[in-house]
Amino acid sequence: MVISPSLIISSLNLGILTILLGSIFFFSKSYFSKGNVNFPLIKTTSACLSVNNDKEETIEYNSGPFAMAILKVLAFLSVLSLLVTCNNSIQSINITLSLWLSNTPLNISLNFIYDQYFLVFLSVALIVTWSIMEFSFYYMTEDPNSSAFFRLLTIFLLNMLILTCSNSLFLIFLGWEGGGFLSFLLISWWTTRNDASSSALEAVITNRIGNIGLITFMALSALNFNSSNLTNILSSNENLTPLLPFLLFGLILAAAGKSAQFGLHPWLPALLEGPTPVSALLHSSTMVVAGVFLLVRTSELFSSPLITHSLVLILGGTTALFAASTAIAQHDIKKIIAYSTTSQLGLMVTAIGIGQPALAFFHICTHAFFKAMLFLCSGSVIHSLSDEQDLRKMGGLSKLLPVTSSCLILGSLALMAPLLAGFYSKDLILEATSASVLNLLGIVLSIVATMLTAVYSFRIIFFCFSLSPSCSSPFSHSEENFNLNNALLRLATGTIASGWFFSNLLFAPPSFNVTSLAKGTPLIVPIIGVAALFMSLISSTSNSIGSNAHSATTSQWFFVDAVHLSIITMSLALSFFSSRTLDRGWQENIGPQGIAPTSTALSKISQAGQIGLIKRYILSSMASVLVILALSLLILS
Amino acid sequence: MALARCARCLRFDRFSPVVRVSSARYASGDVSLPGPYPETPEERAAAAKKYGMRVEDYEPYADDGWGWGDYPKLKKQHADDRDPHGDWDFPEDRRNWGEVMHIEQDLFVRQRPNAYKQNRKIPLWKQSMILGGILTTLATLGILGNKYKYFVPVGPKQYPFNNLYVEKGGDPDAVPDTPKNYTFPTSSYI
Amino acid sequence: MGQMWTAYVTNPDTAPDLNNLPTFDPEYGFPDGRPEREMVASQEEMNMARVPMDKRDFCAHFYIAFLKCRRDNFPNLLNCRHAKHEYDHCEYEDFVIRMKEYERERRLLERGKRKRLVAEREALED
């Protein structure tokens, strides 16, 4: 058998998925009591043993190094498969392993598609997860059940990879749903915290709304194209069915739910209740881009000149503007980064709306590096300042945490300064926006959002560096932990190099013919934003700003309050009405409360005949026989 | 009992023994809740004692057929609005042991959104107006922008081979006539 | 922004339809005729090179050369800067032709309007 590159790639990728799946079963429990420990088994290379000095002498076995080793190997394997793909300029490999469910007309099969999108995403996701796993080994050391945490992260990664590589809609749904469920488990990791569990509830409920969209899409595509394979759906000539708007609506709803677009956004900032590695992995780099990834995969459906293009554009632009304007007024460092994520997701959706899915995907890849790094930096800062999240109380961090703070600067600059990762993709998106025919509002929104991005990014830098340390008891020895430093530095390398690497060596992004003004916009606009920020910082006084506009940005445009109140009021009014009319109203009166008196009255009437006289009984039976005879005669005649 | 309540309200000293008395303030399991509507002042006092409240504070739901017997009408206060740093018996729920709950307590727990916030900094109607204003402005601009599109002054992109008729899935035997694409003679403007 | 100001505010009646260009005879006003655009790559070549649909324009041969260069110089893709530049330049020329088409259409529309006005004025004077 000839070893062809496609064979290598498909076996490599299947191998990665299989190893990941298999590794889940080898995460051990965290604690063994000494009596039960089988020492030679545990003293493997991947085990980390430390004997506590407690009275009970428990031995801590942590599977963090194991997870790190697995992910490291897989990351190198994925880079290998990416290189093979590039070398042979393979566009996509579509393999069908076996029939999964054969009893359906839809032919549901284990159908994977290994194209450039998946292969690049695989490498990025594995490298980012590897770094985050290393970080969480540092961050979760004191957690009693950290092995389970690593296992959940790995299962999540597996789900994400299934979502991105599968061609069958059912497998996509599996990964989609699995990601949502794992996100629920990971946010409510500290289960006893009420805030955490309510955020997890909020996330899972919002994700259900997105799932409605995906299920709509699946059902309608099964109805229209009689297939559950994405390639079949996209290449079908009957794309222009009358149901196409509903299909697209389902897709947009799914993407909006998963990628936290405006209207379904409140869960993303609420997710910060989870541990920081979770925020870094799920809610900045991988899970939230699943919606955008779905749109990228199905972008050929959007090619018809419908109003949907415009709709997606405005949706993305609104999200970008909303999140950016909210981020500039937050004080919680993690919230700023979370809103920044939402804003970048909006920008990705904008790129879908102008018909450039490749650019949206490019932004996904670069964004994963620097946003994961920003979250890890914020986790390191919060850990070092003993759980202080308020940006205003951080200051002079560069003295205390040199590596973290330089990475923090790097990540913030990546969003606005040239030659760093985020700028490559963002610049391209803005260029593509200014080179195409589109809704005027879309371009305005994306430019304003870019300006605000620079403002909040610079605000983090300003507050972390300009002031003197204001925290009570900083202990900066956390940077001596090489797990933290390695993770940060690896992601920092990605932040510096990935934009250049992807644009030159992988994607060959298109060039656009734009005016010099439009070309300069991504550079000029952040400078204006930073200048405006400095002006306001200089002119601002210590008095609190009480204007409505300020409150609108601090309280997320009042969206959450207004929507919660309206939903609650409506459902309460409805339930009050139904309770008054049904449960305690006419239904109760006619039904349970009505039947009892009626049947009582009826039985009382019949009781009148039952007085024990044989003549009465004979008479009544004769009468009934007569009645039956008369009736049967009447019917038969 | 009154003294205990006072101490509870004012929180003089969390270590003083009178505070401990307050945790006995619950309706015991023998009593079926809610009881019948209290008619006389004596019944009211008994009901108030049953729920561990002062008679002045005790106010049952009106007995108009939709009421809840002698169950007291409590303040609608969401748990989010309670003191987050208070000395609660259950700090996560912000609740004390044996505390009389609102009849619709499931609306006021931490997991439900808080729609009962009193004394908002900006009144709710103003909040809705601001949100609605922003969204209406965006929608109006979006509709206008859809009419007046942003464009670059160029013609449509030209493709060879009859506008890629065959490549786009057309029938190769019946290629339609599409206008040819011309360039510009370089010398025509000199 | 000037193009939008012209098209929407000052001269909405002579604004060209962006999707239907040209509405005039392409040879109109070119007494010596107009050279046709040349397509270098053939359909088979594009199929063989698996050129994406939106790249199958008049610059497809440069794109194919670029792809080929990337394949031949694989690890060192920076060698293909020249090929990329050539492709970009071709696309730029294509863009300029499209701009000229738009401008020609606009000027012809304005010329038509001028002529119509002159004819109306003469009809009034008669």
* pLDDT one-digit tens code per residue, B67-114: 888 888 888 888 888 888 888 888 888 888 878 888 888 888 888 888
* Residue A377 contacts residue A488 (beta carbons within 8 Å): yes
Check pLDDT > 60 for residue A635.
yes
- What is the pLDDT, as a whole number, of residue A422? 85
| Token pair in block for residue A460 | 């983090």
Looking at residue A125, its pLDDT comes to 93
Task: Return the percentage of chain A with pLDDT > 90, whole number.
Answer: 29
Distance from CA of B148 to the nearest CA of A (A): 7
Interface touch C67/A513, C-beta < 8 Å: no
Taking any CB pair shorter than 8 Å as contact, residues of chain C touching chain B are: 3-4, 7-8, 16, 18-22, 26-27, 30, 32, 34-37, 39, 43, 46, 53, 56-58, 60, 94-95, 97-103, 105-106
For residue A77, the model assigns a pLDDT of: 93
Check whether A474 has a pLDDT greater than 70.
Answer: no
What Cα–Cα distance (Å) separates residue C51 from each residue in A275, C54, C67?
46, 8, 9
Residue B83 inside a domain? The answer is no
Which residues partner with B14 through β-bridges? none
In chain B the beta strands, taken as DSSP E runs, fall at none
Q: Which two tokens stand for residue C59?
A: 């610059």
CB-nearest partner of B115 from A434, A437, A568: A568
Domain that holds residue A48: 38-62
How many CB atoms are closer than 10 A to CB A301? Answer: 21
Strands (E), A63-133: 92-101, 108-115
Contact B185 C35 (CB under 8 A): yes
Quick: pLDDT tens for A579-631: 888 877 788 888 888 888 899 999 998 887 777 788 888 988 999 999 999 99
The 10s digit of each residue's pLDDT in A36-80 is 444 444 444 444 444 444 444 555 567 888 889 999 999 999 998
pLDDT tens figures, A501-535: 888 878 777 888 888 888 888 889 989 999 988 88
| Whether A577 contacts A587, CB under 8 Å | no
Average pLDDT, chain A: 84
User: Which residue in the set C18, C35, C58 is minimally distant from B156, CB to CB?
Assistant: C18
Q: Is A92 part of a structural domain of the chain? A: no
- Asked if B161 lies within 8 A of C3 by C-beta distance, the reply is no
Which residues of chain C have a CB within 8 Å of the CB of A511? 88, 91
**Chain C contact residues (CB < 8 Å to A):** 18, 50, 66-67, 70-71, 74, 77-78, 84, 88, 91-92, 95
Q: Mean pLDDT, to the nearest integer, of B121-150?
A: 88
Q: Residue A475: its pLDDT value, please?
A: 58
The answer to whether residue B36 is domain-embedded is no
Question: C84–A508: do the CB atoms touch at under 8 Å?
Answer: yes
The answer to whether residue B127 is domain-embedded is: yes
Q: Where are the domains of chain C?
A: 40-125
Contact state of C66 with A508 under an 8 Å Cβ cutoff: yes
A361 part of a folded domain: yes
Residues shown for chain B: 190
Please give, rounded to a whole number of angstroms, the shortest distance from the CA of C120 to a CA of chain B: 30
Calculate mean pLDDT across residues A161-171: 90
Say which residue, A355 or A551, is predicted with more confidence: A355
**Residue-range definition of the domain harbouring residue B126:** 120-149
Measure CB to CB from residue A197 to each of B111, B131, B148 and give the nearest one: B111
Q: State the DSSP H helix or E strand holding residue A62, giving kind and residue range, or none if neither.
A: strand A59-62
Specify whether the CB–CB gap between A137 and A170 falls below 8 A.
no
Residue B98 resides in a domain: no
Arithmetic mean of pLDDT over chain C: 87
Domain count, chain A: 2
**How many CB pairs (< 8 A) connect B and C?**
87
Domain total of chain B:
1
Q: C9-46 b/e with 16+ CB inside 10 Å = b?
A: eeeeebbbebeebbeeeeeeeeeeebeebebebeeeeb
Chain A interface, best mutation among C91, C93, C96, by max A CB count within 10 A:
C91
**Residue B18 domain-assigned (yes or no):** no
Domain-terminating residue out of A13, A46, A62: A62
Average pLDDT estimate for A440-456: 91
CB contacts, 8 Å: C66 with chain A: 508
What residue type is A372 in one-letter code? Answer: A
- Residue A498 · residue A369 · CB < 8 Å: yes
Is A441's CB within 8 Å of B141's CB? yes
Least confident of A118-127, A216-225, A537-546, B91-100: A537-546
Distances (CA, A) of B132 to A329, A483, B139: 20, 48, 10
Write the pLDDT tens digit of every residue in A619-631. 889 999 999 999 9
**Residues with Cβ < 8 Å from A442, sequence gap 6 or more?**
A310, A313, A314, A316, A317, A350, A353, A354, A433, B145, B150
Query: How far does the CA of residue A550 sit from the closest CA of chain B (Å)?
Result: 11
Max Cα–Cα distance, chain A, nearest Å: 114
On the question of a cis peptide bond just before residue C35, with omega within 30 degrees of 0, the verdict is no
Diameter over CA atoms, chain B: 111
C-beta atoms surrounding A341 within 10 Å: 26
Considering CB atoms only, which of B92, B115, B151 is closest to A193?
A: B92
Among A318, A434, A440, beta carbon nearest to B148 = A440
Distance from CA of A86 to the nearest CA of C (A): 8
Structure confidence by residue, pLDDT tens digits, A240-281: 677 888 888 899 999 999 999 998 988 888 888 888 899 888
Do the domain assignments include residue B125?
yes
Is the residue at B141 inside a domain? yes
**For residues A253 and A213, is the Cβ–Cβ distance under 8 A?**
yes
Q: How many CB pairs under 8 A join A and B?
A: 89
